[in-house]
């Protein structure tokens, strides 16, 4: 039997969706224990409760950040099921649908895929893309696998569960002025970089937060470590990882 943890509904429509989902799960014969997260009971606490009760599959019902939080508790101890609701673009792509009925059917058929994850030390988990977006261009220094050092200026830095570091920046080169009157030139220079490794240290100036869907996960300086094939997730059969 599955143990469902639901994100607190943000709107009345989401509440109604939860009710429909309950009915669908019952019809599919996979209704299990359902718990709703709240300010008093965090998703991590509920996931721990589920594990303590012996559930081997914990289903996160909610958006990207919520699913990432539950994955952090579940990893290495149980299979993660996902029903995407709300801001759930990443998890929808991951399991292969954004439709709750289809996602519920995936749970019934239980095709397992194994995913890499990243630990942001000491203990935060990156299962879905984590992002650093400073208000203005910032500097990041990085060390990859202890053998490659570098720095860059960036507007956006993304860390994926495969420990790929994507660094994006764009800045305007000042236009030249002729006789102090006419502006000539002025081009936007865009830069995109991508690295990957098994252990990466990131340091930014200034210190910045690493966010999953706006929810802080860690703060720089941060040591990141790849956990290969560490999380089992119920997905669409043959989904691309």
Partner 1 sequence: METSGPGTTVGVNVALSGTLKDQSDISVFGMVEGEVISEKSVTIGQSAQVKGPVKGELVTISGVVRGAITASEKLELLETGKIFGSISTKNLVIHTGGIFVGKCEMPTGEETVGEPEVEADLEPSQANSEALIPDEE
Residues engaged in binding partner 1 (CB under 8 A): 114-116, 147-153, 162, 164, 167, 169, 171, 189, 191-196, 228-229, 241
The residue (of 72 and 169) whose beta carbon lies closer to partner 1 is 169
Of 160, 83, 167, 96, residue with least CA distance to 128: 160
Rounded to an integer, what distance in angstroms lies between the CA atom of residue 144 and that of residue 116?
Answer: 18
* Helix, strand or coil, per DSSP, at residue 1: coil
**Contact predicate 55/98, CB 8 Å:** no
SS percent in the chain: helix, strand, coil, step 5: 25, 45, 30
The residue (of 161 and 213) whose beta carbon lies closer to partner 1 is 161
- What is the nearest approach in angstroms of partner 1 to the Cβ of residue 28? 28
The residue (of 20 and 139) whose beta carbon lies closer to partner 1 is 139
- What is the nearest approach in angstroms of partner 1 to the Cβ of residue 191? 4
The residue (of 5 and 232) whose beta carbon lies closer to partner 1 is 232
Rounded to an integer, what distance in angstroms lies between the CA atom of residue 84 and that of residue 107?
Answer: 12
Residues 6+ apart with CB under 8 A from 186: 172, 173, 174, 175
- What is the nearest approach in angstroms of partner 1 to the Cβ of residue 173? 11
- What is the nearest approach in angstroms of partner 1 to the Cβ of residue 63? 23
């Amino acid at each position: 039997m599955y143990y469902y943890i639901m994100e607190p509904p943000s709107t009345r429509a989401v509440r109604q969706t939860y009710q429909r989902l309950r009915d669908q799960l019952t019809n599919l014969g996979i209704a299990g224990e359902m718990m709703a997260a709240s300010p008093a009971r965090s998703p991590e606490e509920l996931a721990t409760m589920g594990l303590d009760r012996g559930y081997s599959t914990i289903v996160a019902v909610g958006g990207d950040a919520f699913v990432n939080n539950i994955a952090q508790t579940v990893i290495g101890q149980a299979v993660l099921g996902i029903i995407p609701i709300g801001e759930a673009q990443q998890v929808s792509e991951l399991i292969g649908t954004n439709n709750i009925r289809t996602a519920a059917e995936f749970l019934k058929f239980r095709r397992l895929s194994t995913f890499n994850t990243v630990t942001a030390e000491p203990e935060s988990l990156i299962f879905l893309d984590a992002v650093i977006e400073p208000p203005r261009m910032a500097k990041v220094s990085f060390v990859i696998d202890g053998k490659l050092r570098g720095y860059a200026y960036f507007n956006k830095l993304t860390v994926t569960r495969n420990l790929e570091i994507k660094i994006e920046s764009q800045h305007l080169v000042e236009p030249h002025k002729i006789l102090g009157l006419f502006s000539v030139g002025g081009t936007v220079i865009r830069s995109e970089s991508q690295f990957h490794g098994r252990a990466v240290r990131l340091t930014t100036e200034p210190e910045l937060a690493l966010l999953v869907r706006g929810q802080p996960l860690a703060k720089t300086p941060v040591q990141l470590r790849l956990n290969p094939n560490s999380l089992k997730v119920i997905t669409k059969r043959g989904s691309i990882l």
